[in-house]
Amino acid sequence: MFGEYNAIEKKILSGERLDRADGIKLFECRSLTWLGALADHVRREKCGDYVYYNVNCHVNLTNMCVSQCKFCAFGRAAEARGAYAMTIDQAIAVVEDALNDPNMSGLHIVSGLHPTWTFDDYLSIVRALHERFPQLYIKGFTGVELTHFAKISARSLEDILTDLKSAGLQAIAGGGAEILSDRVRNLLCPKKATADEWLEAARVAHRLGIKSNASMLYGHIETLEERVDHLIRLRNLQDETHGFQTFICFPFLPKNTALEREIKQTSMWDDLRTMAVSRLMLDNFDHIKAYWVMLTVPVAQVALSFGANDIDGTIHKETILHDAGATSPTGLTEDAIIGLIREVGRIPAACDCNYNVLRIL
Protein backbone atom coordinates (compact mmCIF):
# COMPACT_ATOMS: atom_id res chain seq x y z
CA MET A 1 0.00 0.00 0.00
CA PHE A 2 1.14 3.57 -0.51
CA GLY A 3 0.26 7.25 -0.27
CA GLU A 4 -2.98 7.97 1.56
CA TYR A 5 -3.28 4.34 2.62
CA ASN A 6 0.09 4.59 4.34
CA ALA A 7 -1.27 7.56 6.28
CA ILE A 8 -4.34 5.55 7.32
CA GLU A 9 -2.18 2.63 8.39
CA LYS A 10 -0.02 4.92 10.53
CA LYS A 11 -3.15 6.28 12.20
CA ILE A 12 -4.39 2.78 12.99
CA LEU A 13 -1.07 1.52 14.34
CA SER A 14 -0.68 4.60 16.53
CA GLY A 15 -4.25 4.32 17.89
CA GLU A 16 -5.43 7.53 16.23
CA ARG A 17 -9.12 7.79 15.38
CA LEU A 18 -10.08 7.50 11.72
CA ASP A 19 -12.31 10.15 10.18
CA ARG A 20 -15.07 9.97 7.58
CA ALA A 21 -12.70 10.35 4.64
CA ASP A 22 -10.56 7.51 6.00
CA GLY A 23 -13.59 5.26 6.30
CA ILE A 24 -14.69 5.93 2.72
CA LYS A 25 -11.17 5.27 1.48
CA LEU A 26 -11.07 1.97 3.38
CA PHE A 27 -14.32 0.84 1.74
CA GLU A 28 -12.82 1.72 -1.64
CA CYS A 29 -9.64 -0.22 -0.91
CA ARG A 30 -9.00 -3.28 -3.11
CA SER A 31 -6.41 -4.92 -0.89
CA LEU A 32 -8.51 -7.23 1.24
CA THR A 33 -5.47 -8.84 2.84
CA TRP A 34 -4.19 -5.43 3.99
CA LEU A 35 -7.57 -4.54 5.47
CA GLY A 36 -7.80 -7.90 7.20
CA ALA A 37 -4.32 -7.68 8.65
CA LEU A 38 -4.97 -4.23 10.13
CA ALA A 39 -8.35 -5.23 11.54
CA ASP A 40 -6.88 -8.40 13.01
CA HIS A 41 -4.08 -6.37 14.59
CA VAL A 42 -6.60 -4.04 16.25
CA ARG A 43 -8.70 -7.01 17.38
CA ARG A 44 -5.71 -8.74 18.94
CA GLU A 45 -4.52 -5.57 20.71
CA LYS A 46 -7.99 -4.84 22.08
CA CYS A 47 -9.42 -8.31 22.76
CA GLY A 48 -6.71 -10.93 22.72
CA ASP A 49 -7.42 -14.36 21.27
CA TYR A 50 -10.72 -15.20 22.95
CA VAL A 51 -13.75 -15.74 20.73
CA TYR A 52 -16.99 -15.20 22.62
CA TYR A 53 -20.17 -17.17 22.08
CA ASN A 54 -23.28 -18.06 24.05
CA VAL A 55 -25.58 -21.04 24.33
CA ASN A 56 -28.89 -19.38 23.57
CA CYS A 57 -32.37 -19.72 22.15
CA HIS A 58 -34.14 -17.31 19.81
CA VAL A 59 -37.78 -16.65 20.66
CA ASN A 60 -39.61 -14.80 17.88
CA LEU A 61 -42.96 -14.06 19.48
CA THR A 62 -44.83 -13.02 16.34
CA ASN A 63 -44.23 -12.40 12.66
CA MET A 64 -47.27 -10.14 12.31
CA CYS A 65 -45.91 -6.68 11.68
CA VAL A 66 -47.30 -3.29 10.75
CA SER A 67 -44.02 -2.03 9.30
CA GLN A 68 -43.88 -4.14 6.12
CA CYS A 69 -40.26 -3.17 5.43
CA LYS A 70 -39.05 -3.86 1.90
CA PHE A 71 -35.96 -5.73 3.08
CA CYS A 72 -37.85 -8.11 5.40
CA ALA A 73 -38.99 -11.65 4.54
CA PHE A 74 -40.22 -12.42 8.06
CA GLY A 75 -43.01 -9.91 8.67
CA ARG A 76 -46.59 -10.75 7.68
CA ALA A 77 -49.90 -8.96 7.59
CA ALA A 78 -52.27 -10.38 10.21
CA GLU A 79 -54.42 -12.11 7.58
CA ALA A 80 -51.50 -13.46 5.54
CA ARG A 81 -50.67 -17.11 5.18
CA GLY A 82 -48.12 -18.20 7.74
CA ALA A 83 -48.84 -15.35 10.17
CA TYR A 84 -48.56 -16.37 13.82
CA ALA A 85 -48.54 -14.96 17.33
CA MET A 86 -47.31 -17.01 20.28
CA THR A 87 -49.18 -17.38 23.50
CA ILE A 88 -47.26 -17.35 26.77
CA ASP A 89 -47.52 -21.15 26.91
CA GLN A 90 -46.15 -21.49 23.39
CA ALA A 91 -43.19 -19.23 24.18
CA ILE A 92 -42.47 -21.29 27.30
CA ALA A 93 -42.63 -24.49 25.22
CA VAL A 94 -39.99 -23.15 22.79
CA VAL A 95 -37.63 -22.49 25.69
CA GLU A 96 -38.33 -25.82 27.34
CA ASP A 97 -37.39 -27.55 24.11
CA ALA A 98 -34.12 -25.60 23.94
CA LEU A 99 -33.33 -26.57 27.53
CA ASN A 100 -32.51 -30.05 26.29
CA ASP A 101 -29.06 -28.47 26.05
CA PRO A 102 -27.84 -28.42 29.67
CA ASN A 103 -25.59 -25.40 29.03
CA MET A 104 -28.36 -23.22 27.61
CA SER A 105 -28.06 -19.90 29.41
CA GLY A 106 -29.89 -17.17 27.53
CA LEU A 107 -32.87 -16.02 25.47
CA HIS A 108 -32.88 -13.66 22.52
CA ILE A 109 -36.36 -12.18 21.99
CA VAL A 110 -37.20 -10.13 18.89
CA SER A 111 -40.48 -9.99 17.01
CA GLY A 112 -42.68 -8.14 14.59
CA LEU A 113 -44.69 -5.07 15.53
CA HIS A 114 -48.02 -6.80 16.08
CA PRO A 115 -51.01 -4.77 14.89
CA THR A 116 -53.15 -5.29 18.01
CA TRP A 117 -50.86 -6.38 20.84
CA THR A 118 -50.35 -3.85 23.59
CA PHE A 119 -47.08 -3.22 25.37
CA ASP A 120 -48.48 -5.19 28.28
CA ASP A 121 -48.84 -8.23 26.00
CA TYR A 122 -45.11 -8.19 25.27
CA LEU A 123 -44.26 -7.37 28.88
CA SER A 124 -46.36 -10.26 30.19
CA ILE A 125 -44.45 -12.74 28.05
CA VAL A 126 -41.08 -11.44 29.24
CA ARG A 127 -42.24 -11.60 32.84
CA ALA A 128 -43.59 -15.12 32.41
CA LEU A 129 -40.37 -16.36 30.79
CA HIS A 130 -38.26 -14.81 33.53
CA GLU A 131 -40.43 -16.29 36.29
CA ARG A 132 -40.45 -19.72 34.65
CA PHE A 133 -36.72 -19.69 33.77
CA PRO A 134 -34.99 -17.40 36.29
CA GLN A 135 -31.61 -18.96 35.52
CA LEU A 136 -31.67 -17.66 31.93
CA TYR A 137 -30.53 -14.17 30.99
CA ILE A 138 -32.88 -12.31 28.67
CA LYS A 139 -31.74 -10.08 25.83
CA GLY A 140 -34.66 -8.72 23.95
CA PHE A 141 -36.25 -6.17 21.66
CA THR A 142 -34.64 -3.69 19.32
CA GLY A 143 -34.74 0.09 19.26
CA VAL A 144 -37.52 -0.24 16.68
CA GLU A 145 -39.63 -2.37 19.01
CA LEU A 146 -38.99 -0.12 21.99
CA THR A 147 -40.03 2.94 19.99
CA HIS A 148 -43.19 1.09 18.93
CA PHE A 149 -43.97 0.14 22.54
CA ALA A 150 -43.65 3.77 23.64
CA LYS A 151 -45.94 4.98 20.87
CA ILE A 152 -48.72 2.42 21.30
CA SER A 153 -48.77 2.89 25.07
CA ALA A 154 -48.32 6.69 25.02
CA ARG A 155 -45.54 6.30 27.56
CA SER A 156 -41.91 7.36 27.64
CA LEU A 157 -39.02 5.15 26.60
CA GLU A 158 -37.73 5.42 30.14
CA ASP A 159 -40.98 4.01 31.56
CA ILE A 160 -41.07 1.22 28.96
CA LEU A 161 -37.49 0.17 29.64
CA THR A 162 -37.92 0.41 33.42
CA ASP A 163 -40.87 -1.98 33.22
CA LEU A 164 -38.99 -4.40 30.98
CA LYS A 165 -35.99 -4.35 33.28
CA SER A 166 -38.22 -5.08 36.28
CA ALA A 167 -39.78 -7.97 34.33
CA GLY A 168 -36.38 -9.57 33.75
CA LEU A 169 -34.85 -7.96 30.67
CA GLN A 170 -31.06 -7.66 31.01
CA ALA A 171 -29.89 -6.35 27.64
CA ILE A 172 -31.25 -4.91 24.38
CA ALA A 173 -30.88 -6.55 20.96
CA GLY A 174 -29.02 -4.68 18.25
CA GLY A 175 -31.31 -5.09 15.25
CA GLY A 176 -33.45 -2.45 13.59
CA ALA A 177 -30.63 0.03 13.04
CA GLU A 178 -30.46 -1.03 9.38
CA ILE A 179 -28.73 2.05 7.91
CA LEU A 180 -28.99 5.17 10.06
CA SER A 181 -29.89 7.36 7.10
CA ASP A 182 -33.21 9.11 6.62
CA ARG A 183 -32.88 8.68 2.85
CA VAL A 184 -32.57 4.91 3.12
CA ARG A 185 -35.21 4.51 5.80
CA ASN A 186 -37.76 6.63 3.95
CA LEU A 187 -37.39 4.35 0.95
CA LEU A 188 -37.23 0.97 2.68
CA CYS A 189 -38.90 1.20 6.08
CA PRO A 190 -40.86 4.47 6.45
CA LYS A 191 -43.36 3.01 8.94
CA LYS A 192 -40.90 2.21 11.70
CA ALA A 193 -38.47 4.06 13.97
CA THR A 194 -36.37 6.76 12.38
CA ALA A 195 -32.60 6.79 12.73
CA ASP A 196 -32.82 9.34 15.53
CA GLU A 197 -35.50 7.32 17.33
CA TRP A 198 -33.39 4.15 17.17
CA LEU A 199 -30.41 6.00 18.62
CA GLU A 200 -32.56 7.60 21.32
CA ALA A 201 -33.86 4.19 22.42
CA ALA A 202 -30.27 3.03 22.86
CA ARG A 203 -29.37 6.26 24.66
CA VAL A 204 -32.19 5.89 27.18
CA ALA A 205 -31.42 2.20 27.76
CA HIS A 206 -27.78 3.00 28.45
CA ARG A 207 -28.77 5.76 30.86
CA LEU A 208 -30.82 3.19 32.79
CA GLY A 209 -27.88 0.80 32.98
CA ILE A 210 -29.19 -1.54 30.28
CA LYS A 211 -26.48 -2.47 27.81
CA SER A 212 -27.34 -2.95 24.16
CA ASN A 213 -25.92 -4.17 20.88
CA ALA A 214 -25.64 -2.25 17.63
CA SER A 215 -25.83 -3.42 14.03
CA MET A 216 -25.76 -2.45 10.38
CA LEU A 217 -27.78 -4.06 7.59
CA TYR A 218 -25.70 -3.47 4.46
CA GLY A 219 -25.73 -4.50 0.83
CA HIS A 220 -29.06 -3.09 -0.37
CA ILE A 221 -29.60 0.52 -1.54
CA GLU A 222 -27.13 2.29 0.75
CA THR A 223 -23.99 3.99 -0.51
CA LEU A 224 -20.53 3.35 0.91
CA GLU A 225 -20.64 6.87 2.32
CA GLU A 226 -23.84 6.00 4.17
CA ARG A 227 -22.17 2.93 5.65
CA VAL A 228 -19.41 5.14 7.01
CA ASP A 229 -21.86 7.71 8.34
CA HIS A 230 -23.75 4.89 10.07
CA LEU A 231 -20.59 3.69 11.81
CA ILE A 232 -19.70 7.21 12.89
CA ARG A 233 -23.18 7.79 14.37
CA LEU A 234 -22.79 4.63 16.44
CA ARG A 235 -19.28 5.63 17.46
CA ASN A 236 -20.47 9.07 18.54
CA LEU A 237 -23.21 7.61 20.74
CA GLN A 238 -20.73 5.14 22.23
CA ASP A 239 -18.48 8.09 23.12
CA GLU A 240 -21.48 9.59 24.92
CA THR A 241 -22.89 6.56 26.76
CA HIS A 242 -20.37 3.68 26.63
CA GLY A 243 -23.41 1.39 26.54
CA PHE A 244 -22.91 -0.62 23.35
CA GLN A 245 -21.42 -4.04 23.92
CA THR A 246 -20.97 -5.39 20.41
CA PHE A 247 -21.46 -4.46 16.79
CA ILE A 248 -23.00 -6.89 14.30
CA CYS A 249 -22.58 -6.74 10.52
CA PHE A 250 -25.76 -8.03 8.84
CA PRO A 251 -25.42 -8.65 5.08
CA PHE A 252 -28.77 -8.19 3.36
CA LEU A 253 -30.41 -11.45 2.25
CA PRO A 254 -32.80 -10.60 -0.59
CA LYS A 255 -34.72 -13.86 -1.05
CA ASN A 256 -38.49 -13.52 -0.46
CA THR A 257 -38.24 -9.76 0.07
CA ALA A 258 -39.62 -6.91 -2.05
CA LEU A 259 -36.06 -6.28 -3.26
CA GLU A 260 -35.37 -9.83 -4.45
CA ARG A 261 -35.45 -9.00 -8.17
CA GLU A 262 -33.42 -5.82 -7.82
CA ILE A 263 -30.54 -6.71 -5.53
CA LYS A 264 -28.09 -9.60 -5.40
CA GLN A 265 -26.74 -10.99 -2.15
CA THR A 266 -23.44 -9.55 -0.98
CA SER A 267 -20.22 -11.32 -1.85
CA MET A 268 -17.83 -12.82 0.67
CA TRP A 269 -15.42 -10.08 -0.40
CA ASP A 270 -17.86 -7.37 0.66
CA ASP A 271 -18.74 -9.18 3.88
CA LEU A 272 -15.10 -9.44 4.96
CA ARG A 273 -14.33 -5.89 3.86
CA THR A 274 -17.28 -4.54 5.86
CA MET A 275 -16.24 -6.56 8.91
CA ALA A 276 -12.69 -5.18 8.76
CA VAL A 277 -13.72 -1.56 8.18
CA SER A 278 -16.21 -1.79 11.05
CA ARG A 279 -13.46 -2.93 13.44
CA LEU A 280 -11.19 -0.12 12.27
CA MET A 281 -13.81 2.65 12.46
CA LEU A 282 -15.47 1.54 15.72
CA ASP A 283 -12.45 2.11 17.92
CA ASN A 284 -14.60 2.38 21.07
CA PHE A 285 -16.36 -0.98 20.61
CA ASP A 286 -14.71 -3.94 22.28
CA HIS A 287 -16.61 -6.63 20.44
CA ILE A 288 -17.42 -7.21 16.78
CA LYS A 289 -19.69 -10.14 16.00
CA ALA A 290 -19.42 -12.49 13.01
CA TYR A 291 -23.04 -13.61 12.85
CA TRP A 292 -22.71 -17.08 11.36
CA VAL A 293 -26.42 -17.33 10.52
CA MET A 294 -26.16 -14.67 7.82
CA LEU A 295 -22.51 -15.00 6.87
CA THR A 296 -22.53 -18.83 6.80
CA VAL A 297 -20.25 -20.76 9.12
CA PRO A 298 -17.18 -20.80 6.83
CA VAL A 299 -17.28 -17.05 6.18
CA ALA A 300 -17.82 -16.38 9.89
CA GLN A 301 -14.70 -18.40 10.62
CA VAL A 302 -12.68 -16.31 8.14
CA ALA A 303 -14.19 -13.14 9.63
CA LEU A 304 -12.48 -14.02 12.92
CA SER A 305 -9.29 -12.92 11.12
CA PHE A 306 -10.93 -9.72 9.84
CA GLY A 307 -11.62 -8.05 13.17
CA ALA A 308 -14.37 -10.20 14.70
CA ASN A 309 -14.01 -11.70 18.18
CA ASP A 310 -17.57 -13.00 18.72
CA ILE A 311 -19.41 -15.65 16.72
CA ASP A 312 -22.84 -15.28 18.37
CA GLY A 313 -24.44 -18.43 19.77
CA THR A 314 -26.10 -21.79 19.32
CA ILE A 315 -29.46 -20.05 18.62
CA HIS A 316 -31.48 -23.30 18.70
CA LYS A 317 -34.00 -22.50 15.93
CA GLU A 318 -33.56 -19.28 13.95
CA THR A 319 -36.47 -18.26 11.69
CA ILE A 320 -36.29 -14.57 10.75
CA LEU A 321 -33.24 -14.80 8.50
CA HIS A 322 -34.01 -18.22 7.13
CA ASP A 323 -37.24 -16.78 5.76
CA ALA A 324 -34.94 -14.50 3.73
CA GLY A 325 -32.96 -17.40 2.34
CA ALA A 326 -30.19 -17.95 4.86
CA THR A 327 -28.49 -21.23 3.93
CA SER A 328 -26.79 -21.79 7.28
CA PRO A 329 -28.18 -24.27 9.83
CA THR A 330 -31.05 -23.05 12.02
CA GLY A 331 -28.90 -23.82 15.04
CA LEU A 332 -25.51 -25.19 16.07
CA THR A 333 -24.49 -27.31 19.00
CA GLU A 334 -22.06 -25.88 21.51
CA ASP A 335 -19.52 -28.53 20.53
CA ALA A 336 -19.78 -27.40 16.90
CA ILE A 337 -19.13 -23.77 17.86
CA ILE A 338 -16.20 -24.73 20.06
CA GLY A 339 -14.78 -26.78 17.21
CA LEU A 340 -15.02 -24.06 14.59
CA ILE A 341 -13.37 -21.55 16.96
CA ARG A 342 -10.52 -23.91 17.76
CA GLU A 343 -10.11 -24.71 14.08
CA VAL A 344 -8.98 -21.13 13.45
CA GLY A 345 -6.57 -21.19 16.39
CA ARG A 346 -8.57 -19.12 18.85
CA ILE A 347 -9.83 -19.72 22.40
CA PRO A 348 -13.58 -20.35 22.94
CA ALA A 349 -15.14 -18.35 25.77
CA ALA A 350 -18.79 -18.96 26.68
CA CYS A 351 -20.43 -15.78 27.97
CA ASP A 352 -23.78 -14.30 28.92
CA CYS A 353 -25.50 -11.38 27.19
CA ASN A 354 -23.33 -8.91 29.10
CA TYR A 355 -20.06 -10.64 28.21
CA ASN A 356 -19.57 -12.11 31.65
CA VAL A 357 -17.44 -15.19 30.93
CA LEU A 358 -19.08 -18.43 32.06
CA ARG A 359 -16.53 -20.94 30.76
CA ILE A 360 -13.20 -20.86 28.91
CA LEU A 361 -12.63 -24.03 26.92
How far is it, in rounded angstroms, from Cα 34 to Cα 276? Answer: 10
Where are the strands (E) in 277-354, listed by range?
287-289, 310-313, 347-351
Domain limits of the chain? 40-360
- Check residue 159 and give its pLDDT: 98
How far is it, in rounded angstroms, from Cα 76 to Cα 331? Answer: 23
Residue partners of 13: CB distance under 8 A and separation at least 6? 38, 41
CATH class of the 40-360 domain in this structure: alpha beta
Q: Tell me what percent of the residues of the chain surpass a pLDDT of 70.
A: 95
Q: Which is higher by pLDDT, 157 or 324? A: 157
Q: What is the mean pLDDT of residues 42-54?
A: 96
CA dihedral of residues 55, 305, 292, 72 (deg, nearest 10): 130
Q: How many helices and strands (H and E) does the chain possess?
A: 14, 11
How far is it, in rounded angstroms, from Cα 28 to Cα 232? Answer: 17
Residue 65: how many CB atoms within 10 A of its CB?
23
This prediction's pTM: 0.94
205-227 per-position pLDDT tens digit: 999 999 999 999 999 999 999 99
